[in-house]
Amino acid sequence: MLAHNVNVLGSVTTSSLSAWRGCMVVEKCVQPELPIILYDMEACPFCRRVREALTALHLDVEIRPCPRGGQRFRTEAAEIGGKQQFPLLVDKNTDTVMYESSDIVAYLFREYAGRSVPKFYRGKPWQPAVGSVASAVSALRGLRARASSQPVQPLHLWSFEGSPFSRLVRERLCELEIPYTLHNLGKEHWTEVGPATQRLKPGPYTPIPGGKRDVFFQQHRRVQVPYLEDPNTDEGLFESARILKYLETHYGA
Measured CA angle at 243 (ends 250, 241), to 5 deg:
125
For residues 162 and 184, the answer to whether their CB atoms sit within 8 Å is no
**Phi and psi angles of residue 158, each rounded to the nearest 5 degrees, phi first:** -95, 125
**Phi and psi angles of residue 61, each rounded to the nearest 5 degrees, phi first:** -155, 145
| pLDDT over 80 at 198, yes or no | no
What Å distances lie between residue 9 and 13, 17, 35, 152, 167, CA to CA? 6, 12, 33, 33, 11
Of the pLDDT bands very low, low, confident and very high (cuts 50, 70, 90), residue 10 is confident
Strands 61-65 and 155-159: unpaired
What is residue 191's DSSP assignment? G
- Give the model confidence (pLDDT) of 134-164 as tens digits: 677 777 889 999 999 999 999 999 999 999 9
**Pick from 43, 41, 1, 243: nearest CA to 137:** 43
Give Cα 239 to chain centroid, integer Å.
Answer: 16
pLDDT number for residue 24: 95
| pLDDT over 80 at 200, yes or no | no
| pLDDT over 90 at 126, yes or no | no
- Give the model confidence (pLDDT) of 77-101 as tens digits: 999 999 999 999 999 999 999 999 9
pLDDT number for residue 199: 72
- Give the model confidence (pLDDT) of 99-112 as tens digits: 999 999 999 999 99
Q: Average per-residue pLDDT in the chain? A: 93
| pLDDT over 80 at 195, yes or no | no
For residues 154 and 180, the answer to whether their CB atoms sit within 8 Å is yes
- 18 or 96, higher pLDDT: 96
pLDDT number for residue 102: 96
The domains of the chain, with CATH numbers, are: 2-185+225-251 (3.40.30.10)
Q: In what order do the strands lie in the sheet with 61-65?
A: 96-98, 88-91, 36-40, 61-65, 180-184, 155-159, 227-230, 235-238
19 torsion bin: left (phi>0), alpha (psi -120 to 50), beta (else): left
Q: Could you tell me which residues come within 8 angstroms of residue 84 by beta carbon, excluding any fewer than 6 positions away?
A: 66, 74, 77, 78
